[in-house]
Chain A
Amino acid sequence: MEIKPLVLHYEVSGDNFTGAGEASVAMKRELRQMGFDANVIRRAAIAMYEGEINMVIHAEGGVADVNVLPDRIEIVLTDEGPGIADVEQAMQAGFSTAPDNIRALGFGAGMGLPNMKRYSDEMKIETEIGRGTTVRMTVLADSPKNSF
């Protein structure tokens, strides 16, 4: 019998920065109750956090959907922002299109997508210019990444 996932849904408001990171904290709390390994929780939380920040900086917010299964956590971040022109370039550490006022706040270091890839076990980006971006990440409960 296939196990149905636990479904979580978060709205990431694009109005301001103060709310960015709230979904990550809320998800962390849920994952803790479910007894995932501390490393797994942290990887999922960071991946979510970076994704939230990205959606706030670039896309005026979006939504985060999470499926929790005993062996994995799937995070899907969907926004209706400008899309990513060159995904390969965006994946490079240090590359950022964040405006100066965002950088002045300490964001926009160009580590968002690279960190999301680093902390998740799988990551897929679907993007269309002018329409938006969907990032799908999977964090496995049992992964070699848990030991770093």
Chain B
Amino acid sequence: MGKYLHSVTLDKDRCEGCTNCIKRCPTEAIRVRGQKAIIITDRCIDCGECIRICPHNAKKAIFDPLELSEFSYRIALPAPALFGQFDHIDDIDYILTALKGLGFDDVFEVSRAAEIVTEYTRRFLSEHKADHPYISTACPAVVRLVEVRFPYLTDYLLPVISPVELAARMAKEEARKKHPELKPEEIGTYFISPCPAKVTYVKKPIGYEKSEIDRVVSMSTVYRHLLDALKKVERPEPISRSGVIGISWAATGGEAAGLLNERYLAADGVENIINVLDEIENENFSGLEFIELNACRGGCVGGVLAVENPYIAKARLQKLRKYLPLSQNRIDPFAGVDAPLEWNVGAESNPALQLNTDRSQAIEMSKQLNEIAARLPGLDCGSCGSPSCKALAEDIVRGDAYESDCIFKMKERIQDIFRSLADMEHITVRDLEKRERDEKGEDRT
């Protein structure tokens, strides 16, 4: 298994070694060692929860810079969440035209591709009746979470490419038709993303070998430039090709609602989706065909790099889509959708949580782990640098920590030392007094 290149990284100079991030990480992928946080890369799913919680801004998401000179034909792929970031806009075309004002040669909405993914998913579900629901794979943090924590459910993952990947493929196809003189490497697609997990996902895709997305730029960076560019838009170009279904993908429930059947569940927030996945693993679903899960609260509008409050962004999108048709895109060989939408590589479970590849060894280690955990105070305070007492026990068994890292264990030991010192002192004082008495006695004789 290849090592992941993660978008979420640590700025060591800013890290104060507090315990906020270790407690928040859904895969227990962070430790504090030597007063600095360390990310265990095999376990990190790039959800960005640590970025959100860090009070010192020491956690960062690495994005590509908004540098357009690398390609001669640049296509912006705005996520629909972008449209909810601006106030007083009643037409998406203002935003799309402003993107061109930033220097993009063309704009291809991810929401446009999303409508095709929706239709494809609808067909897939009716053609692949299963005894389990399919789990949406649009949120890369969810897919990684399943790989790390729910290996059995990898078979439940919907093997369909995400809207942004389809958008990149379609946009390049369109550009090649419009400009046959362009070489493939001269066309660059720039995804405007609210999400660090997408950066990782583009570098190491799930479901296929290579992504057609060339650059992933942060929504907050583009936002700043767009504020100026929007002021310069006098008459918007008619670029938008999205309907209600495509725009609705920006918030939780939108993807599922587009399937036009009621046999779905939609949930968001990492803790919530972990609970849902546990329930699904226990087969606690009756009649559900589709599970939409988003790691961020509110869905993609709640992405770490989104600027606006997710609920306000969602409300704005409701207004923006009001007079749009339900959908403007369908699967049509003449519309340039000839790329296969299905995965050609399966998701693989990630054994990062295993104690040892040899099961007998792993069982022995588990025994030690539970014995150590029973000796620890069970307060899960995080002061040792591990997220819980159980996690510290695991780290000790793995050889990465010591029982004395627990401050309560340390306190016990110090108290023991004081007690022995006190005993010793007591003995010493008693002996001295005796010696004094003895010497005085000698004097008397």
What residues make up the interface of A, taking CB atoms closer than 8 Å to B? 3-6, 8, 21, 24-25, 28, 30, 32-36, 38-39, 41-42, 45-46, 49, 68-70, 106, 115, 141
Given contacts A6-B370, A33-B362, A33-B369, 16 further A-B contacts (CB under 8 A): A3-B363, A4-B367, A5-B363, A8-B370, A28-B278, A30-B366, A32-B149, A33-B366, A34-B366, A35-B357, A41-B152, A45-B282, A46-B282, A68-B363, A68-B366, A70-B360
Is there a chain A Cβ closer than 8 Å to B205's Cβ?
Answer: no
| Minimum CB distance partner of A22 in chain B | B278
Q: List 6 A-B contacts (CB under 8 A).
A: A6-B363, A30-B366, A34-B355, A34-B362, A38-B151, A45-B281
Q: Which of A28, A39, A69 contacts B363 (CB 8 A)?
A: A69
Q: Which of B278, B349, B363 contacts A38 (CB 8 A)?
A: B349
| Minimum CB distance partner of B282 in chain A | A49
Q: How many Å lie between the Cα of A5 and that of B360 in the bound state?
A: 10
Chain B residues, Cβ within 8 Å of A115? 283
In this complex, the interface size class of chain B, counting residues with CB under 8 Å from chain A, is 20 to 34
A39 touches B362 (CB 8 A): no
Chain B residues, Cβ within 8 Å of A33? 353-355, 362, 365-366, 369, 394
Q: How many Å lie between the Cα of A72 and that of B286 in the bound state?
A: 30
Is there a chain A Cβ closer than 8 Å to B359's Cβ?
Answer: yes
Main SS class of interface, B: helix
Is there a chain A Cβ closer than 8 Å to B101's Cβ?
Answer: no
Contact with A along B357-387 (1 / 0, CB 8 A): 1011011011101100000000000000000
What residues make up the interface of B, taking CB atoms closer than 8 Å to A? 149, 151-152, 154, 278, 281-284, 286, 349, 351, 353-357, 359-360, 362-363, 365-367, 369-370, 394
Chain B residues, Cβ within 8 Å of A36? 359
Q: How many Å lie between the Cα of A6 and that of B311 in the bound state?
A: 48
Chain B residues, Cβ within 8 Å of A24? 282
Q: How many Å lie between the Cα of A54 and that of B281 in the bound state?
A: 18
User: 10 shortest A-B CB distances, which residue pairs?
Assistant: A38-B152, A38-B151, A35-B354, A34-B362, A42-B152, A49-B282, A70-B359, A70-B360, A33-B355, A6-B367
